[in-house]
Structure 1
Amino acid sequence: MAFLVAGTLRVAAQMADAQDSLGRKGKYSLQGPRVALILSSPGVPTAMVAALGGVFQALGFESCERRESPVQGFLEELTWFREYLDARGGPMGCALVALVAPSGQLRQPQRLVQELSCCGALRGCPKVFLLLSAGHGAAPEPGAFLACLGELCGRSHHWSLLQLLTELFCRVAEESTGGTRCPILRSSLRGALFLGGVEPRGPEPEPSLSAQYDLSGARAALLLAVTQDRPGAQYDLEVLGGLCQALGFETTLRTDPTAQAFQEELAQFREQLDTRRGPVSCALVALMAHGGPRGQLLGADGQEAQPEALVRELSRCQALRGCPKIFLLQACRGGNRDTGVGLTALPWYWCWLRAPATIPSHADILQIYADAPGSSSGSPTPGSSDQADILSVYAATEGCVAYRDEKGSDFIQTLVEVLRADPGQDLLELLTEVNRRVCELDVLGPDCDQLRKACLEIRSSLRRRLCLRA
């Protein structure tokens, strides 16, 4: 009897690990099957689909579904794929989906991403989306993008996927005409993802000087925070200001800016950098305020400022050309309150086990845009150098609430804690750890008595490793 109980508990523990898929060391375990889908519209070159298949195989996906449909039918195909995975039974290890359509036609990819996020078999597992433009005018040229990706996958098994993508973005930019093209990634991953199946057994070697940004020049930080009617905001300012100074940033702090002042402060910050005598190597901008229903920032006067316009303002800075520009956005991006997802039924033996924690609904997603999407009229050309070397970190995913209390926000407080502990590590990897810790928290909003979840969104067009050690 004892043998049967021990065996049952051992199997249950394995099920718990598989359901979460995130190893206890901050790395996805990928114990289940890896599933892949190539979804392309009619007219996509056969060679491009074959190249995708080769990349998927290099990443360890032995089998791959291939479906062809007009762009209008992509959602239906993703629904079929989700139902197909749920019907297979048992948890998956990872899903990789390539969406290929003529340039400009794939206009609302988030709806497609959300469809696969509802897949029960993929709960807690990484879901990777590769979005490619095909046809005349695609930027960068998808064949070159895939060839470079396949080559890196073949020889860099020990790299995490985020490390691999940073190197890929650098090569794509260097090989495109004039070096003006750069892809973008959007991540809510909670851990390191090693798709090559080989994790480093010892400490990773230090990156070469050419593989990371040169931060020998001046570092400048601008902190803009609305503190009125935002309890805890002052604590965020104090700890973030202290972190910036510890990392060698010359820091400017402005409190309670109006919506117009947000724009004016960014413009003045850019002009000051452009008129400096010495070189500038990095800029950090923190934007902290209430958020509007569509992600706007609300100034102290209650008026709206568009965060995309503030990012564009700094991307015009000539002194920062080719240098990393970091944006931290602590604000709500809508009114949705995420209750998270977890196991729907707990067997009797779960009282002896640590049940997997509830996971934010928008976690574990990585989107790779080979052709960076424009956001609105007047935005930089998709994939252009104006969008390169930018790292934006949002305290909440699109449409969701960002949480804060009298002790500060979960995002800023956790960010400072993680960066102070290990400032020499690659910033993208550190931010993934920040997201893992934020996703583990259960929070109570000011207007409800039910526990909620939060999840960061990390957007990056960085082309080198970024280490902020002073």
Structure 2
Amino acid sequence: MAFLVSGTLQAAAQLVDAWDSLGRKGKYNVQGSRTALILCSPGVSATAVAAMDGVFQALGFENCEKREVPVQLFCRVAEEIAGNIICPVFRTSLRGILYLGHEPWRPEVTSREGVLCLQMQSDPGPGTQYDLSGTRAALLLAVIQDRLGARHGVVALRDLCQALGFKITLRTNPSAQAFWEELAQFRETLNTHKGLVSCALVALMAHGGPQGQLLGADGEEVQLEVLVQELSCCQALHGHPKIFLLQACRGGNRDSGVGPRALPWHWRWLRAPPAMPTQVDVLQIQADAPGSLISSPGTPGQADILTVYAAAEGCVAYRDEKGSDFVQTLVEVIRANPGGDLLELLTEVNRPVCELDVLGPDSDELRKACLEIRSSLRRRLCL
């Protein structure tokens, strides 16, 4: 019996320590064993597989299993072809800092949270950060009718953009056609602007369709990809960051979460970590975006884009009479550190969002939510 009690207390203490570590420091504990799996199609060269295996070994992965699969998992291998640079895309739902190699030394801010650091870094120079000295423009398109609490999110984002120096265009209750027309007009305004346009932010708030479409105030659908492509073609924003914030459902899945709710009562009594969304703590790196367009030699057409979804793919985005937890937390985090790296700040936003238990309007059962962040940024973005 003593052994069972001791083992239970030790396991619970480890869970508590892991939870406190991420909660206080915002850093994943990677002191345990590391395992990697490499899946490759028949067309991938042995050299590329060996190189990836070498990376995992250098990062301390004890076991790296390699399998060949009969399907092509990637659109193409990331390489330079005819002068065009393939654009890598990061897709993440991390809640904190993840160091797979040495921790970077940043003497000026020792507690700053990052996303993925593989080697020692010194203080970033000006060339590693986007120049935001020019005009900043924001377009807020929000369907308010029949969306409880939506007005609070609009006000919060508008006030934040004003505080960050953005010139704001706000439209409420646009139809599906108006979503596209407003983006087209926004792009044209930027292209005819006299002077440097250094950054654009587009917030889209509406009901979402079953496949992630946006629904206008008229109930008609508009594809998000069409809206993103519209701004990607803006010549004034060539080489400059384009930010998309999406407060909309991306499907009908309602995530009950996974984790300690299924554990015995004595683990919960010892303050075990709360349940987490099923799609949290994931980092994917694509060689390039499927179907991406190359706008000009040397620069990817899909580069310099940051898209933040309020819900994971296929899932419901929640809000109540007070508004959206995603929007409210985003505003609070950025206001607290407006000069911080935006990707790093977004991991701070995702952590409390994942910890919340949300009561959906269609059920008395508690649900979980998780952000999804997609980035093809090439520099640090500090607003």
Say whether the 8 Å CA contact 2:106–2:123 is kept in structure 1: no
Secondary structure class of the residue paired with 2:25 = coil
What residue in structure 1 maps to residue 116 of structure 2? none
What residue in structure 2 maps to residue 454 of structure 1? 369
Q: 1:188-227 residue pairs with structure 2 within 5 A?
A: 188-198=93-103, 200=105, 202=107, 203=109, 206-227=123-144
| Pair 293,261 (structure 1): closer, same or farther in 2 beyond 3 Å | same
What residue in structure 2 maps to residue 437 of structure 1? 352
Distance in structure 2 (CA, Å) of the matches to 1:344 and 1:66: 35
Output the amino acid matched with 1:261: A
What residue in structure 1 maps to residue 89 of structure 2? 184
Distance in structure 2 (CA, Å) of the matches to 1:140 and 1:5: 52
| Pair 312,396 (structure 1): closer, same or farther in 2 beyond 3 Å | same
Task: Pick one of 283, 291, 313 that aligns with 2:208.
Answer: 291
1:11 Cα shift? Answer: 4.3
Output the amino acid matched with 1:230: R
Task: Pick one of 324, 338, 357 that aligns with 2:255.
Answer: 338
Q: Specify which structure has the higher proportion of helix.
A: 1
Output the amino acid matched with 2:198: S
Identity %: 71
1:397 Cα shift? Answer: 1.1
1:177 Cα shift? Answer: 5.3
Output the amino acid matched with 1:36: A
Distance in structure 2 (CA, Å) of the matches to 1:404 and 1:197: 39
Say whether the 8 Å CA contact 1:289–1:299 is kept in structure 2: yes
| Pair 235,61 (structure 1): closer, same or farther in 2 beyond 3 Å | same
What residue in structure 2 maps to residue 27 of structure 1? 27
Secondary structure class of the residue paired with 1:387 = coil
What residue in structure 1 maps to residue 114 of structure 2? none
Secondary structure class of the residue paired with 1:332 = coil
CA RMSD of aligned residues (A): 2.5
TM-score, length basis structure 2: 0.90
1:45 Cα shift? Answer: 1.6
Distance in structure 2 (CA, Å) of the matches to 1:7 and 1:44: 46
Task: Pick one of 275, 299, 308 that aligns with 2:225.
Answer: 308
Count the aligned residue pairs.
369
1:433 Cα shift? Answer: 1.0
Q: Where does the alignment leave 5 or more consecutive residues of structure 1 unmatched?
A: 72-104, 107-131, 142-174
After superposition, give the CA deviation of every residue in 1:121-180 in whole Å (9 maximum; x if it has no partner). Answer: xxxxxxxxxxx55xxxx4531xxxxxxxxxxxxxxxxxxxxxxxxxxxxxxxxx775464
Q: Where does the alignment leave 5 or more consecutive residues of structure 2 unmatched?
A: 111-121
Secondary structure class of the residue paired with 1:281 = strand
Output the amino acid matched with 2:367: R
Pair 1:140 & 2:55 matched: no
Secondary structure class of the residue paired with 2:326 = helix
Distance in structure 2 (CA, Å) of the matches to 1:201 and 1:10: 34
Distance in structure 2 (CA, Å) of the matches to 1:351 and 1:292: 37
Task: Pick one of 248, 264, 273 that aligns with 1:356.
Answer: 273
Task: Pick one of 164, 168, 171 that aligns with 1:251.
Answer: 168
Secondary structure class of the residue paired with 2:63 = coil
Q: 1:32-71 residue pairs with structure 2 within 5 A?
A: 32-71=32-71
1:440 Cα shift? Answer: 0.6
Output the amino acid matched with 1:66: K
| Pair 345,16 (structure 1): closer, same or farther in 2 beyond 3 Å | farther
Distance in structure 1 (CA, Å) of the matches to 2:146 and 2:364: 21
Secondary structure class of the residue paired with 1:33 = coil
Secondary structure class of the residue paired with 1:251 = strand
Kindly indicate whether structure 1 or structure 2 has the higher relative contact order, using CA contacts under 8 Å at least 6 residues apart.
2
After superposition, give the CA deviation of every residue in 1:394-414 in whole Å (9 maximum; x if it has no partner). Answer: 111111100011111111111
| Pair 297,4 (structure 1): closer, same or farther in 2 beyond 3 Å | closer
